[in-house]
Amino acid sequence: APGSRVVIEKPFGEDRTSARELTALLHSLCLERDVFRADHFLHHQSVQDLLALRFANPFFEPMWNCEHLERVEITWEETAGVAGRAGYYDRVGALRDMVQSHLLQLLALVAMDAPATFDEHGLRDAKVAALRRVRSFTADEVATQTARGRYTSGRVQDQPRNGYLDEPGVDPARGTETHACLQVMVVDHRWAGVPFVLRTGKALGRARRRISLHFRASAGLPSATPAVLTVDMAPDRVWLQLNGAGPPGLPALSSLRLEATRPAQPLPASARLLRDVLAGDPTFAVRDDETEQCWRIVDSVLAGWRTGAPPLQDYAAGSAGPAPPIG
């Protein structure tokens, strides 16, 4: 009916083929702009601050490239396990649950070129163009540039935590991962040689929910610690790690941290998402072509994992997680 909207929570399908089939079904019933593939990450104040920092301040965008940036890290690691959600989680795992839906969306916001407009067309066109430039993984790259793990029993913040396989509803034969790490490459002139490290996991020793852009070391003062721009999603804050003159003066250096923390927002991310749905504004909803590109990338990883490489690593609950990729 006119004015109706369809809101779908992730994951949208279980692979690229099923996502296409689901999209075809939806398009037989309604227009694409009335489909809201919900991703509350895109409604975090700090995530939208990232766009404003980059495009509303003239000194960041000229440095937003491989000449100045060494790597980008996008991390969502939690101390919580899967208690109460094992029936769902065991069918999807960390890669489908977090990387396909959330972290690749954040990658697109970082990697995209400046949108022609910041509306439902321009922003999403820029994101999908960036996702199309993400290279699919070969079997060899899956073995060397990804890692996966599953938590065993341990202590998280001094509280005992059962291992994943001890949770009701978990089928050990599935080999479901609770931690995933990928080194993703964007194939274009802006990002040549810059790895995007996507990392997510459950039952870890500390929570980290952030996007960090690591700048290259300064040629003028080789002893300088490379600068880091970090956007933290929980709590909403931004900080820039810089170098200043040390107490004796140059060439001695000391670390400076410029930080801004947002006051509590009147609407949480999920409420902002609902507001957009009610207003019929799909700017921060995930479009069909974005979803398909995210599945293309994730499917290439899953294909490699089905061969057994890299092996699923056990990590103790409360630890830092499995070893990173070897590549």
Tally of CB atoms within 10 A around 213 = 24
Domain ranges in the chain? 6-316
Element (H, E) at 53: helix 45-56
Nearest to 152 by CA among 132, 179, 129: 179
Residue 94 and residue 82: Cα distance in Å, rounded?
Answer: 11
Residue carrying structure tokens 């995930």 = 286
Rounded to whole angstroms, the Cα distance separating 57 from 227 reads 17
Q: Among the options 102, 121, 189, 214, which is catalytic? A: 102
Measure Cα distances from 24 to 11, 51, 94, 204, 213 in Å: 16, 31, 26, 39, 37
In this prediction, residue 1 carries a pLDDT of: 66
Residue 19's Cα: distance from chain center in Å? 20
Query: Phi and psi for 254 in degrees, rounded to 5?
Result: -135, 160
Express each pLDDT in 144-173 by its tens digit. Answer: 999 999 999 999 999 999 999 999 999 999
Are 312 and 173 within 8 A, CB to CB? no
Strands 236-245 and 35-37: unpaired
What's the whole-number average pLDDT of the chain?
95
Model confidence, pTM: 0.96
Average pLDDT estimate for 98-117: 97
Q: Is the pLDDT confidence value at 223 over 80? A: no
Instruction: Give the pLDDT band (50/70/90) at residue 265.
Output: confident
Per-residue three-class SS string for 80-103: CCCCCCHHHHHHHHHHHHHHHHHH
CATH number, span 6-316: 3.30.360.10
Start-to-end CA distance of the chain, whole Å, equals 52
Question: 3-40: per-residue pLDDT in tens?
Answer: 899 999 988 999 999 999 999 999 999 999 999 999 99
Please indicate whether residue 102 is annotated as part of the active site: yes
